[in-house]
């Protein structure tokens, strides 16, 4: 939908952030969450990463790419599945996240896998400046995007780029959010008056991540031959309210809280704590059951056109 905006509003309004501005802001956001991401005692992205790798049926020797690799929740199990006869490259905008991925690969002894700081929308970096050159067109067996693609300003361009990189019959495996736990709606409603946007569940009107149909349409239009989505429930457990707060600040959820003015922070936290109190089990613990979607798109398999002599 296009809107007609009076000229004076255009002049006075703050300029809309460009795609580059949004990427720079995300790199900063994830740099700040990198030290604690998946380190506050809550098993969340690690398990989702394992499940995504399971959906892509990785074989020994496969050549893999993981876009928005973060701390390695997908990259590490993917590199384990392909083994040392294969290869895996993780790409992330945030140098803090990439450092964590490298650390995880070192600890797991996965020397056939690398992580690079680069924009995963284009997969086009200077070979001389990184440990590995960008993958060539048609060279990959699978591309993973674990809880990352909906952050990209141009997901349609990104999935088209991955199709070029994939070999015939290659897989693009994406994990993304379905319906958030409705029991938690009052928690987010309580914080909403104090900040702006900020939840990774809050998507723009035209986002392809608003429905399974919309994402399937995007992938078909990008030339993938088949697309399937499996929706699962994922229960995240928190020992108590303090652990939930630590967890929020370790994820993209901190985006909202960084935008709350210092003058209203205490009131905002008190409003949220009152709602969290209602969700607590008798032992003080909290659980959140979200829908997680695992979408696998495949490129056209090669057809045997050559005839034997
Ligand atoms: C929620 S984290 C997910 C990380 C990891 N895949 C996981 O499953 O834990 C999203 C990641 O996407 C990265 N990201 C967002 N936009 C990106 C882009 N255009 N290029 C590369 N990485 C990007 C962020 O820096 C962040 O590390």
* Rounded Cα distance, 102 and 93, in Å: 14
| Segment among 51-55, 89-93, 104-108, 300-304 with least mean pLDDT | 300-304
Closest-CA residue, ligand 1 atom 21, reads: 92
Phi/psi for 138 (5° steps) reads 75, 10
The pLDDT of 229-241, averaged and rounded, is 97
- Measured from the CA of 30, which atom of ligand 1 is nearest? 25
Residue 9, pLDDT above cutoff 50: no
Judge if the beta carbon of residue 45 lies within 6 A of ligand 1.
Answer: yes
Structure confidence at residue 201 (pLDDT): 56
Judge if the beta carbon of residue 120 lies within 6 A of ligand 1.
Answer: yes
Structure confidence at residue 300 (pLDDT): 95
Architecture category of domain 18-180+199-239+289-298 in CATH: 3-Layer(aba) Sandwich (3.40)
Judge if the beta carbon of residue 253 lies within 6 A of ligand 1.
Answer: no
Among 118, 112, 113, CA closest to 92: 118
Judge if the beta carbon of residue 94 lies within 6 A of ligand 1.
Answer: yes
**What ranges do the domains of the chain cover?**
18-180+199-239+289-298
Q: Which of 43, 146, 151 has most ligand 1 atoms within 8 Å of its beta carbon, as the pocket-test mutant?
A: 151
Closest-CA residue, ligand 1 atom 14, reads: 68
The helix (H) or strand (E) run that includes residue 297 is strand 286-298
Structure confidence at residue 6 (pLDDT): 29
Structure confidence at residue 305 (pLDDT): 55
Judge if the beta carbon of residue 296 lies within 6 A of ligand 1.
Answer: no
- Rounded to a whole number of angstroms, the CA Rg of the chain reads 21
Q: Which of 39, 122, 148, 198 has most ligand 1 atoms within 8 Å of its beta carbon, as the pocket-test mutant?
A: 148
Q: How far is the CA of 116 from the centre of ligand 1 (A)?
A: 12
pLDDT band at 143 (very low <50, low <70, confident <90, very high): very high
Judge if the beta carbon of residue 96 lies within 6 A of ligand 1.
Answer: no
Contact in structure between 129 and 111 (CB atoms under 8 Å):
no
Contact in structure between 98 and 69 (CB atoms under 8 Å):
yes
Q: Which of 20, 26, 113 has most ligand 1 atoms within 8 Å of its beta carbon, as the pocket-test mutant?
A: 26
Structure confidence at residue 304 (pLDDT): 60
The helix (H) or strand (E) run that includes residue 171 is strand 166-177
The pLDDT of 260-280, averaged and rounded, is 97
- Measured from the CA of 34, which atom of ligand 1 is nearest? 27
pLDDT band at 244 (very low <50, low <70, confident <90, very high): very high
- Measured from the CA of 119, which atom of ligand 1 is nearest? 20
Closest-CA residue, ligand 1 atom 4, reads: 70
């Amino acid at each position: 939908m296009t809107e007609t905006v009076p000229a004076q509003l255009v002049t006075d309004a703050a300029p809309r952030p460009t795609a580059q501005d949004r990427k720079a802001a995300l790199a900063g956001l994830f740099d700040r969450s990198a030290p604690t991401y998946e380190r506050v005692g809550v098993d969340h992205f690690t398990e989702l990463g394992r499940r995504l790798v399971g959906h892509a049926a990785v074989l020994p020797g496969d050549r893999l790419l993981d876009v928005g690799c973060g701390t390695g929740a997908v990259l590490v199990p993917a590199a384990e599945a392909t083994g040392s006869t294969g290869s895996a490259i993780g790409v992330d905008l945030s140098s803090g996240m990439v450092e964590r991925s490298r650390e995880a690969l070192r600890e797991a002894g996965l020397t056939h896998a690398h992580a690079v700081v680069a924009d995963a929308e284009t997969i086009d970096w200077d070979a001389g400046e990184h440990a590995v050159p960008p993958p060539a067109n048609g060279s990959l067996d699978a591309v993973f995007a674990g809880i990352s693609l909906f952050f990209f300003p141009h997901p349609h361009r990104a999935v088209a780029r991955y199709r070029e990189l994939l070999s015939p019959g290659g897989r693009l495996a994406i994990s993304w959010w379905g319906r958030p736990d409705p029991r938690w709606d009052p928690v987010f409603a309580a914080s909403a008056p104090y900040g702006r946007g900020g939840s990774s569940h809050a998507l723009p009107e035209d986002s392809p991540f608003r429905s399974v149909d919309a994402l399937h349409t995007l992938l078909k239009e990008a030339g993938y031959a088949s697309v399937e989505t499996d929706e699962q429930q994922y229960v995240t457990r928190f020992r108590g309210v303090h652990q939930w707060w630590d967890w929020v600040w370790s994820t993209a959820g901190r985006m909202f809280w960084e935008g709350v003015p210092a003058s209203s922070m205490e009131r905002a936290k008190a409003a949220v704590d009152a709602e969290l109190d209602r969700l607590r089990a008798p032992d003080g613990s909290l659980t959140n059951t979200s829908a997680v979607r695992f979408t696998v798109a495949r490129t056209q398999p090669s057809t045997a056109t050559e005839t034997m002599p």
